[in-house]
A and B are shown apart, each in its own frame.
Chain A
Amino acid sequence: QVQLVQSGAEVKKPGSSVKVSCKASGGTFSSYAISWVRQAPGQGLEWMGGIIPIFGTANYAQKFQGRVTITTDESTSTAYMELSSLRSEDTAVYYCARDVESDILTGCLGYWGQGTLVTVSS
């Protein structure tokens, strides 16, 4: 069974960066797109970007272009999301999620991590 386990909660200062990890187990890591989705308190889901590890090139939502970097380490089956220039509005739970289809980013996310709360506060 596929499992995605994320790193723990973070508290960050405005203007700093945060890097969240997502370790996959129980499936083929390289062929399935990993997306990052965030959810601000009391708000809806927001797609930030995604990557297919075997291809290595990440795609980002226009809103986060220039501020987010998504990478993977195939040797450890881990995906990373780094968000820079943090502001209070970035306070949210950040989820990683795996696509249902291999070799393509569809946005149909069949497996989710447990979420990582990132709090941005001075």
Chain B
Amino acid sequence: QSALTQPASVSGSPGQSITISCTGTSSDVGSYNLVSWYQQHPGKAPKLMIYEVSKRPSGVSNRFSGSKSGNTASLTISGLQAEDEADYYCCSYAGSSTFDVVFGGGTKLTVL
């Protein structure tokens, strides 16, 4: 199973909004509403920010939102803050036959 495709880096100024894309195939992102997004700061474990395409876990700011269209999922962060600077990974369930789960390559978000 190939990794999902994310841009290597995105940047934005404080207060702005940014969107990170995550492109898969009809076998993963396109077939299941089981896309999740993780934030990872250096040296830390990943943190779940969005699950099942657009659901936010308790405690996650509503500045984070998720969506999906076809084989591409997106994470939008509005009102950028300095502490949002981190690596972001998307993830998708990829099939009941293989029970595969596949991650994207990660996107480095820089807050200018």
Interface residues in A, total, Cβ within 8 A: 23
Instruction: Tell which of A44, A61, A112, A114 touches B1, judged by Cβ atoms closer than 8 Å.
Output: A61
Residues in A with CB closer than 8 Å to B86 are none
Closest to B45 in A: A112
B64 within 8 A of A: no
A59 within 8 A of B: yes
A113 within 8 A of B: yes
Most buried by B among A45, A59, A100: A45
- Tell whether, in the assembled complex, residue A35 and residue B104 are in contact, meaning their CB atoms are under 8 Å apart: no
Residues in B with CB closer than 8 Å to A110 are 48, 51, 57
A62 to B3, CA, bound (A): 13
Residues in B with CB closer than 8 Å to A46 are 103
A16 within 8 A of B: no
A120 to B93, CA, bound (A): 30
Closest to A109 in B: B48
Residues in B with CB closer than 8 Å to A100 are 48, 51-52, 57
B46 within 8 A of A: yes
A107 to B4, CA, bound (A): 14
- Tell whether, in the assembled complex, residue A45 and residue B99 are in contact, meaning their CB atoms are under 8 Å apart: no
**Contact A109-B1, Cβ < 8 Å, known A44-B105, A50-B101, A62-B100:** no
- Tell whether, in the assembled complex, residue B48 and residue A45 are in contact, meaning their CB atoms are under 8 Å apart: no
Closest 4 CB pairs of A and B: A107-B101, A59-B99, A108-B51, A112-B45
Q: Which residues of B contact A (CB under 8 A)?
A: 1, 3, 34, 36, 38, 40, 45-48, 51-52, 57, 89, 91-94, 98-106
